[in-house]
A and B are shown apart, each in its own frame.
Chain A
Amino acid sequence: MATTKRTGGRILGTIILVLVAALSIAGCATPAGDTSGGGAAPPKEPVKIGAVLSLTGSYAGLGAPEKNTLLMEVAAINAAGGVNGRQIELFIEDDATDPAKAQAAAVKLIEQYGVVALIGATGTGQTMGMRGDVDRAGVPQVSVAGGTVITAQFDPLVFQTPWSNSLVVPFTLERLKKDGVAKIALIADSGGFGKDGIDVIKKLAPDYGITVSSEQLFNAGDTDMTSQLTKIKGSGAQAVVMWTAGKEAAIVASNMKQLGMTVPLVGSHGNARREFITGAGPAAEGFTFAAGKVLSPDQYGTGSPEYKVATDFIDRYTKQYGSAPDTFAGHAYDAIHIIANALGTVDEVTPSKLRDAIEQTKGFVGVGGTFTFSPTDHNGMKATDLVTYEVTGGEWTVLK
């Protein structure tokens, strides 16, 4: 009897050991990051702003640049004298990529620190998880997550800085229509961004006279998309539209070349990353995608305000952190500056006045684009903020 028990215990122990080891490795991907607040020692009555970011868990890679950006920008705003003479005190909480934890973090920031505005969360699920408590407290929230649902399921208190698929998809379809494409095949990751993109494309494609001949999914971490692409190859599509923000995008491009597919590969703003070009190498040539103008600030015209904002941010970030900022850093930049600008216009800092002021944002030049909010539009960007890029000679060039 004792022996059976011992063996059972050992087996269980081994199972748990292996699984815990696996989880620990996954969790250790980014062990860096402290949740300390930023800003110089405030002289008196600082304005308190809270941020809920994923600094651990599966979105840690997105939360880290967002945190870097918030710390850098709040320090810069404070060094320049703050907003209306008041310093900004920033409180950052980690949501561990968990919606329940994000909600608890929001409650903590609102109740214990008395923040007048919230930035975050990093992920769509975490952003949605905060909503109940945001609504009850009446505190404005500027999310840096990309899910269409955040502003589509409208909440007067919630704003969103990243490009939403509902903006980028019509722009991309319009371009395809102009190029005479009537039949496309879709390939996307099975995660939130890819599935959301596919849903929006399927809904809108008929409006552009485009049919979807094949729809293929892959999982994050997949290393070969040949079988999906073979199905696409036989489907008679005139173009392959890929929707993913993952590193697997480079594999899709490489596999297409290996299969001798000659139809164009069209991506999304999720591919606005240097890793795609380095990863896909020659297969990246001719790849097109829509994104904001930040990849090529010259697009704004040297000397224009947009150009100055983008290059200034890129230069300062690169100097401070040793690498160029990615699009997630840009979303955080836009969030904190939209709030800071709104703060500058209110006579008395209360959450409700701040919310109204944020909604009044007009023509704010950010890194992701130019934001104009309205009582019905809390994403605030227009298709004119987008350009189509093509990869040529290992660089992004703008397609006219």
Chain B
Amino acid sequence: MQSNVSVLILSWEYPPLVIGGIAPHVYELSRHLQAGRTVVHVVTNTAPGRPVLEVENGVHVHRVNSYENLTDFEDWVLQFNLAIVDYVTPQLSGNIRFDLIHAHDWLVGYAALLLRQRLHLPLVTTIHATEHGRNQGLFTPQQQTIHSIEHELVSSSDKVIVCSLHMQSEVCAVHTLDKQRTEVIPNGIDLRSLELMPAHSFRREQYAQNGGKIVLFIGRLVKEKGVQVLLQSMHEVLREFPHCTCIIAGRGPMLAELEASAAELGTSIRFTGFVDSLEKSYLLEIADVCVFPSLYEPFGIVALEAMGSGTPVIASDIGGLAEIVEHGRTGLISIPEDPHMLAGRILYLLRDPEEGDRLAEAARREARLRYDWHPIAERTREVYSALSGVRL
């Protein structure tokens, strides 16, 4: 007899609290799991204006307040996790029978480890990125601490889900993990969210010079995203296309540094700050090319969204991006940290819009075929079933 499987998902971010890629991933995964015989309870961080408990798209969302807003980040993580454990036991687990726990990244590691022991449940962990990979090594005490928590979480998990073959290799190498303990399930994209709503107030003139080409970057402004390389490449691009605008859409700790680097390029570089999904869809629609010059990229969800939108994509030959984008078929690949090659790729597409359209159309078909959330949620449910013994 088929049954529902009940999962306790732990995630430090969940919409409307969106810091990086974990929030949208957990949101989409949760609602697609819920649609197919899975009872989903997400326990996450509090968000301004949202109630402690609500049901959204059939997903039960519990927003737990940390005990205190401490300035020390590591201490904040500890007491936030302890607050989660205090909330789940006995309030939540006293009323609900869970079949397993699914943790997302090290930030909920303490809670996942304690709850696994206390509730005697299988633990699945998704590692979205490693601390070692983010920093290309471990150089500070904080990075070492985060790595330790991540290592303990990975080692204690019954299954570790990663989004790409590259991440599988990385997690297994960094944490000395047997590949059999991992499962590669790609991230998905919600294709409906890429469709622009008919009524909007965006205008091309807000972003770019009349008739000029648009080169777009969307993502967090951190070193690993490689925006500094894109800015270097724009010197060469602007020599041939002086009316081109490079739009940098995102926020992050590198903003001031990047703005300083871009100063000599004047109004050809536009920093928009954070863009919501509607504005992101619009930017993808008007862009001539979308560039992902990452130095480290476990997957590349925004690149996948660009592909799903039908925007020509140039991506670094690195990590998950190299698995998503096939050079010459669904986009162009560029060597990381090589602004000259990147400029060459950009110029190639700006000179030949028809080639860009051809690549974009193939990319759109690929994105819809391989990265739809329904089969991804189904594969995740199969992992749940195998670990919990609940037949689906």
A, B from the same assembly: no
Binding site for A on B (CB under 8 A): none
